[in-house]
Amino acid sequence: MDSDNVVRIFDTTLRDGEQSPGATLSSAEKLEIARQLARLGVDIIEAGFPAASPDDMAAVQRIAREVGTADGPIICGLARVVDSDIRASWEGVREAAKPRIHTFLGTSDIHLQYQTGLTRAEGLEAVRKGVSLARSLCEDVEFSPMDAGRTDKAYLVEVCALAIQCGATTLNIPDTVGYVTPEEWQETISSLIAETPGGGPGSGVIWSVHCHNDLGLATANTLAGVLGGARQVEVTLNGIGERAGNTSLEEVVMAIRTRPQFYHVTTNIESRELIKTSRMVSNYTGLAVQANKAIVGRNAFAHEAGIHQDGVLKEASTYEIMVPEDVGLASSELVLGKHSGRHALRARLRELGYEIDDEELRQVFARFKDLADAKKTVTDADLEALVHDQVQGVQEFFHLVDIQVSCGTMGLPTATVKLACEDGSVVVQPAVGTGPVDACYKAIDAVVEAPNTLLEYSVHSVTEGIDAVGEVTVRISPEGEDRSFGGYGADDDIIVASVRAYLAALNRMLAVTGAGGRTPEGRVATVSLQ
């Protein structure tokens, strides 16, 4: 296939995806996800919004240095059409072998009037200045007329033509509020390509679409954009993002792959990495994937009805339009046993794509040994769950030392937790709850003293069987606030996994709200770590 038939996959999980409520990622997690995105074969990683905060800047710079190698993806940083944002974006990505600045301005009358307070003429001037500055710094410049779905068509053509004239090489057309429908979007994209001076076939300009899912149409609209001539799509893993989210990478990629005679395009994605990438993003963001989510949901390839099972056993294509192995759903293999050593574990983790440092290896190895004792068969999926739990890279204001729970039909569910605090002390705290998890969370709350609301708690098993590793994701929000923080925990004991997830979310919350590391005076029992 020639390059006109390759749809570039622009992944914005680390930028638009991270804007999902509760999806704050540590820079260690961002780097791991970026490495995995490179293995997945995305063409462009939007690594963040460098002007937003020093943390964002540092994460983008690190990804640019470590993932943006010559044979790796383009690394992109977002910027408003504002001088300081554009310079910050360049500072973020400049060390990548293939850097890109992505700059944007809201161009609908609603955005111009209420957000930036610019007239249409002033909007054009801002685009001229912003794109020209970006192009003076970087060869590869993308421009987005934000809220293009509700922008006057003639004005949209004018803005796009100006951006191309000032040096933009990719024109990304966003449906920022998820408003458009597939038929009209295909027409919008094809007419823009045809009517924008300097943007037609042979101009070298790549047209792109960026759709949000407010009406559940993001994937359909993105594919309609491809039919209209777009050769870049902006997507996130699991479709995470603002409000109802962005277009889901896995859905677009597998639609293109499953229906080549219809779309006549291809992508550079290694589809067998999809499940793994989806799990990593879900575990690190604390945003659980719904069971029936297309491609990556737990039930996406499960057949329940007898007639379906019978059909699939006779001939898989009766009810399967995709091969589960093609998305990375190979049955989990036994990889290591309880006699396996540290080197074998490191080697297997490397094969799975995890580069962890010596201290992380020591911790993962200790937990692997416990798991191998309890479970006998340790699979790749189990190992990944342990690594995701261990390598969250969040500052630990409170760390789980031990936990003991008593529950059942007689008596009150009671938990005693032993937590190591940031100041070096260890606190032992009992509590009674409505169930064992509630008792644990109450005991932790009594130590941490950071009032919050538990918004979401979900548990599921990594593999099948009674001895499976359990994964827990939780989302909490500080009392009286809208923002939320996610946490992930994995263990063969789901109470322990629940505690790990809750502590991860609390530590994340404390890192942002700055209220962590309280002194343990006055607790039930205090033991010095020294």
3-state SS assignment for residue 13: coil
Q: How far is the CB of 212 from ligand KIV (least distance, A)?
A: 6
**For residues 49 and 90, which CB has a smaller minimum distance to Zn ion in the complex?**
49
**For residues 209 and 256, which CB has a smaller minimum distance to Zn ion in the complex?**
209
Which of 149, 174, 486, 516 touches ligand KIV (CB under 6 A)?
Answer: 174
CB 149 within 8 A of CB 107: no
Backbone angles phi, psi at 431, to 5 degrees: -160, 160
Identify residues 277-296 at the interface with ligand KIV (CB under 6 A). Answer: none
Check residue 381 and report its DSSP letter. H
- Asked if residue 144 binds ligand KIV (CB under 6 A), the reply is yes
Cα 440 to Cα 162, 169, 416, 445, 447: the distances in Å are 59, 54, 7, 9, 11
- Asked if residue 180 binds ligand KIV (CB under 6 A), the reply is no
- Asked if residue 140 binds ligand KIV (CB under 6 A), the reply is no
- Asked if residue 176 binds ligand KIV (CB under 6 A), the reply is yes
First-last CA distance in the chain? 65
Q: How far is the CB of 8 from Zn ion (least distance, A)?
A: 17
CB 51 within 8 A of CB 15: no
Q: CA 300, 176, 482, 452: dihedral to nearest 10 degrees?
A: 30
Identify residues 195-254 at the interface with ligand KIV (CB under 6 A). Answer: 210, 212
Give me the 4-33 binding string for Zn ion, x by CB under 5 A, dash otherwise.
Answer: ------------x-----------------
Q: How far is the CB of 210 from ligand KIV (least distance, A)?
A: 5
**For residues 238 and 414, which CB has a smaller minimum distance to ligand KIV in the complex?**
238
Which of 104, 207, 354, 365 touches ligand KIV (CB under 6 A)?
Answer: 104
CB 366 within 8 A of CB 382: no
**For residues 16 and 158, which CB has a smaller minimum distance to Zn ion in the complex?**
16
Number of chain residues interacting with Zn ion (CB under 5 A) = 1
- CA–CA gap between residue 417 and residue 260 (Å, rounded): 55
Backbone angles phi, psi at 377, to 5 degrees: -105, 115
CB 196 within 8 A of CB 167: no
Question: Among ligand KIV, Zn ion, none, what binds residue 104 when CB lies within 5 to 8 Å by partner kind?
Answer: ligand KIV
**For residues 26 and 208, which CB has a smaller minimum distance to Zn ion in the complex?**
208
Which of 16, 85, 140, 396 touches ligand KIV (CB under 6 A)?
Answer: 16
Q: What's the CA angle centered on 56, arms 55 and 62, to 5 degrees? A: 90
Q: How far is the CB of 47 from Zn ion (least distance, A)?
A: 15
Q: How far is the CB of 174 from ligand KIV (least distance, A)?
A: 3
Backbone angles phi, psi at 450, to 5 degrees: -125, 90
Sign of the dihedral defined by the CA atoms of residues 354, 359, 361, 367, in that order: negative
- The residue whose Cβ lies closest to Zn ion is 16
Q: What's the CA angle centered on 240, arms 504 and 63, to 5 degrees? A: 70
Under the rule (CB under 6 A), what is the footprint of ligand KIV? 16, 104, 144, 146, 174, 176, 210, 212
Residue numbers at the binding site for Zn ion (CB under 5 A): 16
